[in-house]
Amino acid sequence: MTMTCRKLFGFRLHGGLEPLVDLINDSENSANKKLLAAVTGALWKVSSDEENVERLIDLGLVPTLIRLLLENSDALDDLQFNPLKISVLTNVVGALSEAAKQQKNRELIQNEQGLAPLIKLIATNHPDLLVNVSAALGECAKDKAILAEIHRLDGVRLVWSLLKHPSDRVSKTNKSCS
* Angle (nearest 5°) at CA 24 between 16 and 115: 115
CA 18 from centre of chain? 19
pLDDT score at 82: 84
**Residue 48 CB burial class (10 angstroms; 0-12, 13-18, ≥19):** middle
CATH number of 3-177: 1.25.10.10
Confidence band, pLDDT 50/70/90 cuts, at residue 11? low
Provide DSSP, 110-150. HHTT-HHHHHHGGGS--HHHHHHHHHHHHHHTTSHHHHHHH
**pLDDT tens-digit map of 20-34:** 999 999 999 989 999
Place 9 in a pLDDT band, splitting at 50, 70 and 90.
Answer: very low
Q: How far apart are CA 40 and CA 142, in angstroms?
A: 25
Distance of alpha carbon 158 from alpha carbon 91, whole angstroms: 21
State the pLDDT at residue 163.
76
pLDDT tens for 35-69 read: 999 999 999 999 988 888 999 999 999 999 999 99
pLDDT for 136 equals: 96
- Interval 73-88: pLDDT, tens: 876 667 677 888 899 9
Give the separation between CA 141 and CA 153, rounded to whole angstroms: 13
| pLDDT of the residue at 164 | 72
| pLDDT tens, residue by residue, 118-169 | 999 998 888 999 999 999 999 999 999 999 999 999 999 888 887 776 667 7
